[in-house]
Amino acid sequence: MAEVHASAIIEDGARLADNVSVGAYSIIRSGVSIGSGTVVGPHVVIEGNTAIGCDNEIFQFASIGAIPQDMKFRGETSYLSIGDRNKIREFTTIHLGTEDGGGKTVIGNDNLFMAYTHVAHDCIVRNHVILANAATLAGHVEVDDFAILGGMSAVHQFTRIGSHAMASGGSMIAQDVVPYVIVQGDRAKTVGLNLVGLKRRGFAKEELSALKKAYKLLFRSGMMQEEALKEIESWEDIPAPVQKLVDFVRQSERGIARA
């Protein structure tokens, strides 16, 4: 049985698994489903077609599943999916998707959303991502595994953040951030490889060496982007992390944050 405080409101149609805990004065509306072991603190509002997985922690005053802050939204059916073991801290806001964006906002597993963070409509946040205090994602943003966005940073709509990338606090990000790098500033520029993070996550010396070489070609050599990519693609053996970097740049529609 779920453990629900007497002052909480659980509407008919909401589905709470066993071992869900709901704190005082929280509101969970019809259409919401919450998986086993998830803890909902006091004064939380969860609404919309929102599916939340197992063992999440949702702290007080979070707002989950509200309609998008999008002038084009006309009440169409849309969704929010949140995976497992996420920590959603105070005053975080995560919104439903829109018809134009595929209809769904998606949060993966093991992410940390610090206080006052915002995830707008149709975003995709994959796994092991950290949004520090007041970091903000506009609509249609994609954030790949192990990325870190510093406090007060903001990401422009339709921008992608690559895996293992890190944005310094206050970064204003208007172009795609390639995997493995650090960006900072307004508008954010690439300033180096996230070597400390990569070493902590077990990247081999050979992979780090190849990434350093690829980084220099892309950002420090003076080559045009296409010329640098072709030079990297000419290598006899391209390590998987470098190939991921090349593929990301090739697929960029907004352009990448340059050095």
Catalytic residue set: 121-122, 139
Exposure string for 156-169, b = 16+ CB within 10 A, e = fewer: bbebbbbbbbbbbe
Report yes or no: 157 and 139 within 8 Å, Cβ to Cβ.
Answer: yes
d(Cα 138, Cα 152) in Å, to the nearest integer? 13
Report yes or no: 179 and 162 within 8 Å, Cβ to Cβ.
Answer: yes
Tokens representing residue 41 in the block? 């603190």
Tokens representing residue 241 in the block? 């992390």
Q: Which pairing describes strands 189-193 and 181-184: parallel, antiparallel, or unpaired?
A: antiparallel
Q: Cβ-count burial of 152 within 10 angstroms (0-12 exposed, 13-18 middle, 19+ buried)?
A: middle
